[in-house]
Structure 1
Amino acid sequence: MSLLDACGAGSSSPATAGGGTTAVLNMPFLEDMQVPDPDIMYEGEGVQVMHAVYDGLAQYKPGTNEPVPLLAESWEISTDQLTYTFKLRPNVKFHDGTIADAASWVAGFKRRAAINQGPAYMVAGIKEAVAKDPTTLVVHLKTPNNAFLHYLACPWHPFAVSPTAVRKHAVGGDLAQKWLQTHDAGTGAYTIKEFVPGNYYLLEKFPGYWGGDVAYDQIRITITPSVSTQELQLQQGQFDVITKGLPIPDVLKYQKNPDYEVPVTLGGTGNAIWINPNKPMFADRKLRQALVQAIDRTPVVQTSYGGLVPVQKGFWIDKLFPPNLDPISDTFDTAPLQALVAKLPDKNVDLAWGADGGAPVQQMAELVQTQLAAVGLNVTVRQLPTAQVFDLANQPQAKRPDLFIDWLGGDALHLDTVLRIMLRTGAKPLNLFSFTYPELDKLMDEAILQPTTDKMNAMYVEATKFVMDQAIFVPLCSQPFPIIARNYLTGIVQDSDLPEVIYADKIGRKLS
């Protein structure tokens, strides 16, 4: 055991945090993140940085799918659901010292729409945003949208972005995109001090933070692609917390070790086997349906997650949709698929798994490979780095896998964001296989117009029946998000939608 490990900490431990030294929270990322531009960043890796540096109008109440105020103190919705009036917290400062008033939000909505990257759909339905006064923001929608508050609460929500910083650092009308590749213009508890792609990101606490002082002076995030290296550095005291990617057997061991806290939270995402209907083998809907029927989900889930989570009972994740409205069966039958496979001239299958899912998803892929081999398919398994996953929609079909195992979920705890970003015709970057179903597009567009939850859910039941009939994916389970933290950390609050994100301003440390 190292000296740092013996005293229970690393650079941010009670042994080194006092006496005027800088308290640093150290944590790893498995991969480099996209640029930290709040209107471009649209991956899982990196959301931790965005939420330490930027704030939104709302967020989810921890553990629920209920939007609650953040930079908005409250809101009112008109009876026709077309007008949202937000009362803003007064005197919230951007990191450049200017005030985050209603006018800054108007400019921020326009910036996200103009940049028009992945998260731009969240503001596409805004007809007009008006600063009625410095603390009153009025948003008029083009059409009713019962998902709009969820857009504002989700991890990739519109963020408060300093229009002063955007104007100051804009080059050739780029809305400061180049500058925001290594800087920030937020209101969060931390500001970007150093951003070195491929190496590390250093965040420094913002003394003017509206939420008050925070326990850690800095957060250092080091790019560490090897999970085993992450664990070794955690044990040696070089990291204080690991938030994703750990093998489940290791998680179970840490749960028995008093030196660590191991919260396990279910978020708004799960795991699924996605089927590419544009590849020759799976263009046959009957074969897709037979594949869905042939997968024995129970050993895939229980083995990969070590009993941390059960097999999914509903077609969608529980936080997204009531499971009693979309039940699925645990029974399976390989005979129909085996009969169809016997007639196939080519039995080769390219199965990929997303690197961001870590060891559990890799194991899922290998278990599915074994099950499909038993019915006569020759399945090759490969890993897809996150950057390649997000580029699949731009690649020719020949470069896309036949099957893909990774997440099932949306941007928010509302079913619209699953359908709209993963299944809508022409959606990028997450409609990975270029699904094109006009009937489904129509159903999702009608669902968000509904004035009551019951009417909305009735539309989603119809959409669910359609997706099931098309055999687009095999739902597996809600994804557990275990976090491994040294036991001197306190106040760990995980995002309800994406629990790998911990609220940086809430984290404290035990002093001894």
Structure 2
Amino acid sequence: MHKVLKGFALTAMAVAISGAVQAQETPKPGGEVIVTYQNDVATLDPAIGYDWQNWSMIKSLFDGLMDYEPGTTNLVPDLAERYEISDDGMTYTFHLREGVTFHNGREMTAADVKYSLERTINPQTQSPGAGFFSSIVGFDAVSSGDATTLSGVTTPDDYTVEITLSAPDATFLHLMALNFASVVPKEAVEEWGRDFGKHPVGTGAFKLDDWALGQRLTFVKNEDYYRDGIPYIDQIDFEIGQEPNVALLRLQRGEVDIAGDGIPPAQFLQSRQDPEFQKLMVIGDQLHTGYMTLNVTIPPLDNLKVRQAINMAINKERIVRVINGRAAPTNQPLPPAMPGYDSDYEGLSYDVEQARALLEEAGYGDGFETELYVMNTDPQPRIAQAIQQDLSQIGVQAEIKSLAQANVIAAGGEQSQAPMIWSGGMAWIADFPDPSNFWGPILGCEGAVPGGWNWAWYCNEELDARAEEANAMVEPDQREERARIWGEIFTTAMDDAPWVPIFNEKRFTVHSARMGGDDALYVDPVHVPVNYDYIWVK
């Protein structure tokens, strides 16, 4: 999930949470909650919505075959009561829960699952998540518009769905937990057409009660939700148009329960140093890496020693201080919470003298001129300036190109246009907790195409082949070995230095004193940013 939206192995792993730990109290049902956002929500259609703001809203309105245990990346069945995988890893059989109803009162069946996948893949839907399901047999025919039904998805009865893949895919169960795989009723989609995103109908814990565009969205508890006692909250009011500084003041006064846009940078240090405010703050690790791409096709960045020198010239600790400590320095693409992360990997450490020596060996002892593209939203230009200053110490003069996000993305997606890009504001947050999601789109050959997200234009076919082998390891007893292989893929890629991995950003959420629930729910790694289904009012 890239941050155009604002971008997970079946290994059960809890995301590290710091800050004040909530006392273990019994959740209370009832109550109303106010959440603020500055900007309106674009859509609540699960096939379309793909941004930081609407991701958790959609997850509370819809369900899929799979989901994650609250506050963790531990994958569990959701609308599916259980599932089986064939011996060859090519066929998944899902047995649905009986009696689950949509918000319109109709029971959800296997036909709805099939329709929902076909709708997401259908090019007329224009879903940004269609490509996730390319391994399903029949995908090419549907995505090209030659067919409207997936030959690889069958429904033997109302409560059984069989999905056949064209190749084994260890990530497939994660894909069934994405918003894009949420189950929707065909009759509601056909009734509202392109406006379904403003009139969403799902099976989720909440349902949309009212939406005054530009002002407020109101979610109310789904009294018929299949999970007994969930959600705890009766109503959530999302207030739109709230300037973040004002929202924070209102939260401190008890008028707001969750500041959806977080803590404004200008108030971060003051807030974090306030003992009373610390009690309201929750800090969590994200499946995120902020990095600078080095376009391996543009001289002199096509020289390995030059790329290594740039890596060793960047003072990552200083960059973290620029953003008031809201991240941890890193030396590899995978974040620490991701399977495959190598805690023993040393990488290219900060060493200005060695960086100068490498440039000399590469024939650029006098340095060179280049360009560094960056999104023009604070604090990204300040980070780019810190990188610029570091590079000047080894004679590399980088002109900063500070542009609107869309223009930076366009520059990165067109080969030979952007020598270097600081990814901040667009840095990668995993769509699901599996290392494969950090490879294909942003480091694999498939992303090194016009319009792609591999802005380093790095393509290592040998590593791509190893990645395909890792993705074919679907057996549970292969998880540990698969994670090890993925770790080697990423550290081997760093031998080629197509990136400067800089930091893993932390998430800071703030909520009122009246809110209950484990801290992990407020920095939920997959119900980004908040798992509304399980928080409660004290």
TM-score (normalizing by structure 2): 0.77
> 1:324 and 1:418, CA in 2 relative to 1: closer, same or farther beyond 3 A?
closer
Note the 1:253-272 alignment, pairs <5 A.
Answer: 253=273, 256-257=275-276, 260-272=279-291
Residue 424 and residue 469 in structure 1: after superposition, are their counterparts in 2 closer, same or farther (change >3 A)? Answer: same
- State how far apart, in whole Å, the 2-side matches of 1:185 and 1:422 are: 34
Tell me, in whole angstroms, the C-alpha distance in 1 between the residues paired with 2:305 and 2:68: 40
Task: Find 2:310's aligned residue among 291, 294, 299.
Answer: 291
- Counterpart contact for 1:302–1:311, Cα < 8 Å: no
- Distance between the aligned counterparts of 1:259 and 1:466, measured in 2? 41
Counterpart Cα distance in 2 of 1:400 and 1:45: 31
Using the alignment, how far apart are the partners of 2:418 and 2:386 within structure 1? 23
1:469 aligns with one of 495, 499, 509: 495
Which residue of structure 2 lines up, in the alignment, with residue 506 of structure 1? 534
Assess, with a 3 A threshold, how the Cα gap between structure 1 residues 234 and 325 changes in structure 2: closer, same or farther: closer
Shift of 1:56: 1.9
Match of 1:14 in 2: none
How many residues matched?
475
Cα deviation 1:300-319 (Å, max 9, x = unaligned):
2355353x654336541122
Question: What one-letter code is carried by the residue in structure 2 that aligns with 1:145?
Answer: D
Aligned to 2:32: 23
CA distance in 1 between partners of 2:253 and 2:446 (Å): 48
| Identity score, percent | 21
SS at match of 2:208: strand
Displacement of 1:487: 0.6
User: CA offset at residue 185 of structure 1?
Assistant: 2.6
Q: CA 1:213/1:467 → structure 2, altered by over 3 Å: closer, same or farther? A: closer
In structure 2, relative to structure 1, the CA distance for the partners of 1:264 and 1:325 (3 Å cut) is closer
Larger deviation, residues 194-203 vs 483-492: 194-203
Residues 125 and 220 (structure 1), Cα distance of their counterparts in 2 relative to 1, 3 Å cut: same
Deviation at 1:134, TM superposition (A): 2.4
- Checking the alignment, whether the CA contact within 8 Å between 2:70 and 2:531 is kept in structure 1 is no
CA distance, structure 1, for counterparts of residue 121 and residue 485 of structure 2: 28
Moved more, 188-197 or 122-131: 188-197
**Matched residue, 1:168:** 191
Residues 30-41 of structure 1 correspond to what in structure 2 (within 5 A)?
A: 31-41=39-49
After TM superposition, list the pairs within 5 Å mapping 1:72-91 onto structure 2.
72-91=80-99
Rounded to whole Å, the distance in 1 between the matches of 2:391 and 2:282 is 34
Say if 2:154 is the partner of 1:146: no
* Secondary structure of residue in 2 paired with 1:442: helix
Note the aligned Cα RMSD (angstroms).
3.5
Structure 1: tracts of 5 or more residues without a match: 1-17, 170-175
Relative to structure 1, the CA distance from residue 329 to residue 185 in structure 2 (aligned partners, 3 Å threshold; closer, same or farther) is: same
Which residue of the other structure, out of 118, 129, 138, is the alignment partner of 2:128?
A: 118
Q: Summarize the alignment of residues 55-454 of structure 1 with structure 2, pairs less than 5 Å apart.
A: 55-115=63-123, 117-127=127-137, 128-154=152-178, 156-169=179-192, 176=193, 178-195=194-211, 200-211=216-227, 212=230, 214-224=232-242, 227-246=244-263, 247=265, 248-253=268-273, 256-257=275-276, 260-279=279-298, 282-301=301-320, 304-306=323-325, 310-312=328-330, 315-324=333-342, 327-329=345-347, 331-335=349-353, 337-338=355-356, 339=359, 343-344=366-367, 347-353=369-375, 355=377, 359=379, 364-379=383-398, 398=417, 402-406=421-425, 407-427=427-447, 431=453, 433=455, 435=457, 437=459, 439=461, 440-451=463-474, 452-454=478-480
* Separation (CA, whole Å) in 1 of partners of 2:261 and 2:180: 21
Q: Secondary structure at the match of 1:234?
A: helix
Residue 209 (structure 1) shift:
3.0
| Mapped partners of 2:355, 2:76: distance in 1 | 47
1:479-511 deviations in whole A, cap 9, x for unaligned? 21111001101125146434742121222212x
Structure 2: stretches of 5+ with no match in the other structure: 1-28, 138-151
Relative to structure 1, is the Cα distance of residues 279 and 476 closer, same or farther in structure 2, using a 3 angstrom cutoff? Answer: same
8 Å CA contact 1:58–1:69 kept in 2: the answer is yes
Q: Deviations 1:406-433 (Å, cap 9, x if unpaired)?
A: 5244211101111122234454866152
Contact 1:74 1:86 (C-alpha < 8 Å) held by counterparts: yes
